[in-house]
Amino acid sequence: MQYDPNPNANTWAMILHFSQFAGYVVPIAGFLAPIVIWQLKKDDIPSLDAHGRNVTNWLITEFLFSILCTILLFVGIGFLGFLILAVLSVIFPIIGGIKASQGEVWKYPLTIHFV
């Protein structure tokens, strides 16, 4: 990772990861807040771009997995898929936020790369 002269870079990266939890308060905010933070701050904080891409890729992948789990409900295993997805949607942002606070960019496992 390149040096970022902004002393708040790690804090903003951590906020970006943790902003996914805003969806537990306002349903769509968990998808919108990270993308809005990324788009507003990526020019001021260059290192935030990698974090924003990782989180956005995870959000799109998570959405696609939820569609797949919905289809699998008819086969009977969709509930298990939703349970796993729910656990991962809590664990991944926490790990990403902790790593971001230490200045590391952590790529979420199982993520399809779109952006």
Q: Domain for residue 97, yes or no?
A: yes
What is the band of 6 on the pLDDT scale with cuts at 50, 70, 90?
A: confident
Q: Domain for residue 37, yes or no?
A: yes
Tokens 């664990």, located at residue = 91
CB 83 within 8 Å of CB 91: no
Q: Domain for residue 114, yes or no?
A: no
Specify the amino acid at residue 65. Answer: F
Tokens 């701050």, located at residue = 41
Residue 3 has pLDDT above 80, yes or no: no
Residue 23 has pLDDT above 90, yes or no: yes
Contacts of 44 (CB under 8 A, 6+ apart): 6
When the pLDDT of each residue in the chain is averaged and rounded to a whole number, the result is 93
Q: Domain for residue 107, yes or no?
A: no
Domain count, the chain: 1
Domain that holds residue 45: 9-101
Q: Domain for residue 25, yes or no?
A: yes
pLDDT in tens, 31-69: 999 999 999 999 999 999 999 999 999 999 999 999 999
CB 46 within 8 Å of CB 2: yes
Q: Domain for residue 1, yes or no?
A: no
How is residue 68 written in tokens? 């797949």
Q: Domain for residue 112, yes or no?
A: no
How far is residue 109's CA from residue 107's CA, in Å, rounded to a whole number? 6
Q: Domain for residue 56, yes or no?
A: yes
| Ranges of H-type helices in 1-115 | 9-18, 29-41, 48-72, 78-101
CB 42 within 8 Å of CB 4: no
Per-residue pLDDT, 7: 74
